């Protein structure tokens, strides 16, 4: 049996050598396979043939050892060597190398977990990290807020160019220097508009007919009836035409007659007649021969009558009406007509100016106004006022008279008689808080324009010389002047009250109001930086279905502000990444022995509250001490409404004034040093840390977690089962996987942009090949020798 067993024993040796060659060949073949772990072969003796178990020592013999013949070798184990491979830098940011113990966890074809040291990763069409063979890399993913979700392993995604992120501002750090030696704000800026009027009131329509009136002819015939009632003397007569409303024209020149003896009557014939049918009567005036200065009414005859008998005695005529000999000067006159309520004194705006009409004190000394516009019988006005300029000032118009409805007017009032009368109010009735905005009228020269109609009014003022954002008011038939004032107050961020008791001059009515002469007036908050301004293009109106036009509503400054300060303009972001402009203005509010106090006011044109358009979003007081150091800031949290946006509302953030000093610098300065919000951005790149945290970098400069790589280690790596593609699965002797983050819990750290090369030792494996081949040849020689011996045995027969 010896020779026969030698054959099988030699065969086991050759088989073991073949295994060594196979393993070494595989090691050499994967010398360039990333993450490959070379294997080693360990052998053990196979069965033994025991010839004697030996004997124990006795008193007579020393004992013998067992006699055993080995029956060959067997492969005890083929074990991968999990020694660290060399780390080599690569250009792929998804290439990862493990330094230390552990395996990447990937997903197998059936959803099972597999493990690998090969960190050559890439992304697929679903932005998932996968191995070169398409196995998904597992770890912790993130939710919609980019928070790591450590609830279970899942494929990790890196959605470059697709994922978007924004971060709302939570903190703004301000820095600067506010000079406590500057002027304390005690006088606010005040601006006001031109005079506005109520366009809903009745307006005179049309202009009267104005004609100069010539004197009647003084040519007539005289006669007398003998008697004694009228004593002898020279009697002068003058006539004047009278219209149907009782208005009297200019008197004629003197026509006289001499009575040589007394008479019962003086008879006038061929009395001149007016060619104007509007004059329905003729008044005849006569002097008193005793003084020859006064002309009194001798009688009135109808137009068309050419004769008159004067029977008035001196005593009788002395009690009659005195002739109005007033005449206009040699000048050109223009007129206005208004309506008036005789009870309340309310007056309409005037007609268009009419004239000029030239008067001549010698020949045409009076001007007749006919067809004067009349107020509605059921309206609020019941009388008419007439205004006229004077010879030495054609632009100043004074009230001449106030007449009743249905009356004409003949003007004979000298300039000197009216210059003490009220001047005309060209603007018209004053506006009030409750009147409709569509009825507001502004005068431009001789034109009266309705400033507003039904539609959209856009307004953008300025504060401290800096433009504010545009706000819009929808004007309806119920929108009032007060609504406009409130809208403008809110659009310019006027602060009307504050929680601090130190709010300056609470007796001042900050914001918009109406003046006594019907102007819009706005009082700014204290400080030059808070001075309000409204330029000529501040108002833009878009009528319903029409085109946008600039509203001509100019404002001027009537009081300039004092009190230096500083302004900081900066941008914050809401939860959607929308940029929001914020402005913080300051003014020195008070100083004393303990330090200085500066009022700050914050505004934002994007503030969107549930009602109104208020842009004021916060106010408080900054206090500095005697060393100029910051002490405190009150109410330093700002809330900006986002009601018209799907963003979280309100946007709240903290103003940090810790870096603001109260030193006596040359100028006040204030600026936003930093803020922690970000606009919307897309994922542009990423990094993977040593701990396996995947952090995305977005186009807005922000970074967010995209996932967490997880690793696994085993109590016995050698017990893992290789399944191809550089993958291992758990084996019966590997132990259960222990998960953890790279660099913790005994896990190795990961290096980004690098790979772990194969740990195959080429030289050692070549030596192993030489030894294995020598072993193989030795086994073959044993078989050859046994074959020779068997041949010898077979030859014994011969």
| Per-residue confidence (pLDDT) for residue 17, from 0 to 100 | 77
Phi-psi region for residue 353, left (φ > 0), alpha (ψ -120 to 50) or beta? beta
| Per-residue confidence (pLDDT) for residue 703, from 0 to 100 | 86
Q: What is the mean pLDDT of residues 92-116?
A: 93
The fraction of the chain above a pLDDT of 70, given in percent, is: 97
8-state DSSP, 786: H
> Per residue in 232-265, pLDDT tens?
888 899 999 999 999 999 999 988 888 877 888 9
- Ranked by mean pLDDT, the top range of 7-11, 291-295, 577-581 is 577-581
| Per-residue confidence (pLDDT) for residue 503, from 0 to 100 | 67
Question: Does the pLDDT at position 79 exceed 90?
Answer: no
Phi-psi region for residue 304, left (φ > 0), alpha (ψ -120 to 50) or beta? left
| Per-residue confidence (pLDDT) for residue 14, from 0 to 100 | 80
Indicate the burial class of 726 (C-beta count within 10 angstroms; 0-12, 13-18, 19 or more): buried
3-state secondary structure of 218: coil
Give the residue extent of every domain in the chain.
Answer: 2-80+761-795, 87-160+707-756, 171-184+563-676, 190-198+432-559, 202-428
For residue 416, what are the contacts with CB-CB under 8 A and spacing of at least 6?
none
Question: Does the pLDDT at position 129 exceed 90?
Answer: yes
| Per-residue confidence (pLDDT) for residue 4, from 0 to 100 | 67
> Per residue in 24-60, pLDDT tens?
888 888 888 888 888 888 877 777 767 677 778 888 8
Structure tokens at 398: 């004074």
> Per residue in 207-223, pLDDT tens?
898 999 999 999 999 88
Sign of CA dihedral 441, 442, 448, 454: negative
pLDDT band at 540 (very low <50, low <70, confident <90, very high): very high
Question: Does the pLDDT at position 2 exceed 70?
Answer: no
Say which range, 35-44, 324-333, 364-373, 544-553, has the weakest mean pLDDT: 35-44
| Per-residue confidence (pLDDT) for residue 291, from 0 to 100 | 72
Query: What is the length of the chain?
Result: 798
Residues 723, 682: contact at Cβ < 8 Å? no
Sign of CA dihedral 358, 362, 363, 369: positive
Q: Are strands 279-287 and 295-302 parallel, antiparallel or unpaired?
A: antiparallel
Q: What is the mean pLDDT of residues 698-718?
A: 91
pLDDT band at 505 (very low <50, low <70, confident <90, very high): low
| Higher local confidence (pLDDT), 778 or 555 | 555
> Per residue in 542-588, pLDDT tens?
998 889 999 999 999 999 999 999 999 999 999 999 999 999 999 99
Question: Does the pLDDT at position 521 exceed 60?
Answer: yes
Say which range, 60-69, 312-321, 515-524, 689-698, has the weakest mean pLDDT: 60-69
Q: What is the mean pLDDT of residues 504-509?
A: 74
Residues 346, 318: contact at Cβ < 8 Å? no
Which H or E run contains 764?
helix 762-795
Query: CA separation (Å) from 9 to 1, 73, 750, 778?
Result: 12, 7, 49, 12
Q: What is the mean pLDDT of residues 157-173?
A: 88
| Per-residue confidence (pLDDT) for residue 294, from 0 to 100 | 87
Q: What is the mean pLDDT of residues 723-743?
A: 92
Question: Does the pLDDT at position 1 exceed 60?
Answer: no
pLDDT band at 501 (very low <50, low <70, confident <90, very high): low
How far is 69 from 45, CA to CA, in rounded Å? 11
pLDDT band at 71 (very low <50, low <70, confident <90, very high): low
Residue 688 neighbours by CB distance under 10 Å: 26
* CA-closest candidate to residue 491, choices 450, 462, 526, 449: 462
| Per-residue confidence (pLDDT) for residue 30, from 0 to 100 | 87
Mean pLDDT score of the chain: 90
Domain 171-184+563-676 CATH class label: mainly beta
Residues 421, 399: contact at Cβ < 8 Å? yes
8-state DSSP, 480: B
| Per-residue confidence (pLDDT) for residue 797, from 0 to 100 | 66
Q: What is the mean pLDDT of residues 482-498?
A: 93
3-state secondary structure of 22: helix
* Sheet strand arrangement including 616-625: 567-573, 579-592, 595-603, 616-625, 630-633
How far is 443 from 199, CA to CA, in rounded Å? 11
């Amino acid at each position: 049996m010896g020779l026969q067993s030698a054959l099988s024993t030699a065969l086991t040796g050759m088989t073991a050598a073949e295994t060594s060659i196979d393993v070494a060949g595989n090691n050499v073949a994967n010398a360039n396979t990333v993450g490959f772990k070379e294997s080693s072969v360990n052998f053990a003796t196979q069965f033994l043939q025991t010839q004697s178990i030996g004997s124990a020592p006795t008193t007579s013999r020393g004992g013998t050892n067992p006699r055993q013949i080995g029956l060959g070798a067997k492969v005890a184990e083929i074990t991968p060597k999990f020694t660290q491979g060399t780390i080599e830098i690569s250009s792929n940011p998804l290439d990862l190398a493990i330094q230390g113990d552990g395996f990447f966890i990937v997903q197998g074809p059936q959803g099972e977990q597999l493990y690998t040291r090969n960190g050559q990763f890439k992304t697929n069409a679903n932005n998932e990290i996968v191995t070169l063979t398409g196995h998904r890399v597992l770890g912790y993913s993130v939710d919609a807020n980019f928070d790591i979700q450590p609830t279970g392993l899942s494929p990790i995604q890196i959605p470059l160019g697709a994922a978007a992120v924004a971060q709302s501002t939570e903190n703004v750090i301000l820095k600067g220097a506010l000079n406590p030696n500057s002027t304390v704000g005690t006088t606010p800026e005040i601006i006001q508009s031109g005079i506005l009027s109520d366009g809903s009131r009745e307006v005179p329509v049309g202009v009267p007919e104005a004609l100069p009136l010539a004197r009647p002819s003084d040519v007539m015939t005289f006669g007398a009836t003998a008697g004694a009632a009228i004593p002898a003397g020279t009697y002068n007569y003058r006539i004047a035409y009278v219209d149907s409303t009782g208005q009297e024209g200019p008197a004629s020149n003197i026509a006289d007659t001499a009575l040589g003896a007394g008479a019962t009557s003086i008879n006038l014939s061929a009395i001149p007649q007016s060619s104007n049918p509007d004059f329905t009567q003729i008044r005849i005036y006569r002097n008193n021969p005793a003084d020859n200065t006064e002309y009194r009414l001798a009688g009135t005859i109808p137009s068309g009558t050419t004769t008159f008998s004067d029977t008035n005695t001196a005593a009788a005529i002395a009690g009659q009406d005195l002739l109005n000999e007033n005449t206009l000067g040699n000048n050109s006159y223009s007129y206005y007509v208004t309506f008036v309520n005789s009870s309340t004194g309310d007056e309409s705006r005037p007609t268009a100016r009419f004239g000029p009409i030239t008067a001549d004190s010698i020949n045409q000394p009076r001007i007749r106004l006919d067809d004067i516009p009349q107020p509605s019988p059921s309206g609020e006005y019941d009388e008419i006022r007439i205004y006229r300029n004077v010879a030495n000032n054609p632009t100043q118009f004074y009230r001449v008279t106030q007449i009743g409805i249905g009356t004409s007017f003949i003007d004979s009032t000298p300039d000197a008689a009216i210059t003490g009368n009220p001047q005309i109010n060209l603007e018209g009735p004053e506006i009030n808080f409750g009147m409709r905005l569509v009825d507001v009228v502004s005068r431009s020269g001789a034109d009266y324009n309705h400033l507003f109609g039904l539609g959209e009014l856009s307004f953008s003022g300025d504060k401290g010389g800096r433009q504010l954002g545009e706000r819009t008011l929808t004007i309806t038939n119920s929108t009032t002047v007060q609504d406009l004032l409130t809208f403008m107050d809110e659009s310019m961020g006027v602060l009307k009250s504050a929680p601090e008791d130190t709010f300056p001059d609470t007796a001042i009515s900050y914001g918009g109001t109406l003046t006594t002469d019907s102007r819009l007036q706005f009082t700014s908050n204290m400080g030059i930086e808070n001075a309000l301004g409204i330029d000529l293009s501040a108002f833009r109106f878009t009528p319903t279905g029409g085109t946008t036009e600039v509203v001509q509503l100019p404002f001027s400054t009537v009081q300039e502000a004092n009190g230096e300060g500083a302004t900081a303009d900066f941008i914050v972001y809401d939860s959607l990444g929308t940029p929001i402009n914020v402005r913080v203005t300051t003014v020195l509010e008070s100083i004393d022995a303990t330090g200085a106090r500066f009022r700050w006011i914050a505004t934002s044109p994007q503030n969107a509250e549930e009602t109104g358009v208020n842009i004021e979003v916060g106010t408080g007081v900054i206090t500095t001490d005697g060393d100029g150091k910051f002490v405190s800031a009150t109410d330093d949290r700002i809330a900006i409404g986002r009601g018209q946006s799907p963003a979280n509302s309100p946007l709240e953030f903290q103003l940090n004034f810790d870096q603001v000093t109260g030193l006596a610098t040359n100028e006040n300065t204030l600026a936003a040093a930093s803020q922690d919000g970000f606009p919307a951005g897309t994922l542009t790149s990423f990094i993977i840390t040593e701990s396996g945290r995947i952090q995305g970098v977005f186009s807005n400069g922000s970074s967010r977690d995209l996932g967490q790589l997880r690793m696994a280690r085993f109590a016995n790596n050698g017990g893992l089962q290789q399944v191809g593609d550089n993958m291992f699965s758990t084996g019966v002797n590997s132990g259960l996987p222990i998960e953890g983050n790279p660099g913790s819990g005994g896990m190795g750290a990961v290096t980004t942009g690098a790979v772990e090369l194969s740990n195959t030792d080429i030289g050692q494996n070549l030596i192993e090949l030489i030894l294995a081949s020598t072993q193989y040849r030795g086994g073959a020689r044993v078989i050859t020798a046994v074959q020779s011996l068997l041949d010898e045995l077979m030859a014994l027969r011969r």
